[in-house]
Amino acid sequence: MIVDDRVEMFAQLKEEFIDIIIIVALSEDELEKVQKAIFNDKLDNLLKNMFQKKKESRKYARDFIEKHVESVIKDRERITEKEILEAVEISKNVFVV
C-alpha cells in the first residue's frame, strides 16, 4: 500500500468514525475507549485491510467502528425496572398532560 492509498483509507476511516460518533451518545470515557480501540498501533493493519476491500472499504471501516462502539455500550450499567418506574412517577409530577 502506497502513501496515497494510506491517506485515502485514513480519510475514509475518519469520516466513518465521525458519522457514527455524532449519532451515538457516548460519555467521554466511552469515546476514549473507542478511540483507543481504533486509533492504536494496529492502525496500519486496519488501513491495509480496508484497502484490500476495494469498493467495500467504507463498509469495512463502519463495521469495525460499530463493533467497538457496541462493545463499549454493552458495558454500560443496566437500568433497573425500579429506576424506570421512579422516572415515570417523576415525569407525572413534572409534565402536565
Measure the CA angle with vertex 21, ends 17 and 27; round to 5°.
135
The dihedral built from the CA positions of residue 93, 24, 22 and 27, taken in this order, carries a sign that is positive
- Quick one: which of 19, 16, 24 has its CA closest to 56? 16
* Whether pTM exceeds 0.85: no
- Quick one: which of 49, 78, 73, 76 has its CA closest to 61? 49
DSSP string, 41-52: TTHHHHHHHHHH
pLDDT in tens, 51-94: 999 899 999 999 999 999 999 999 999 999 999 999 998 888 88
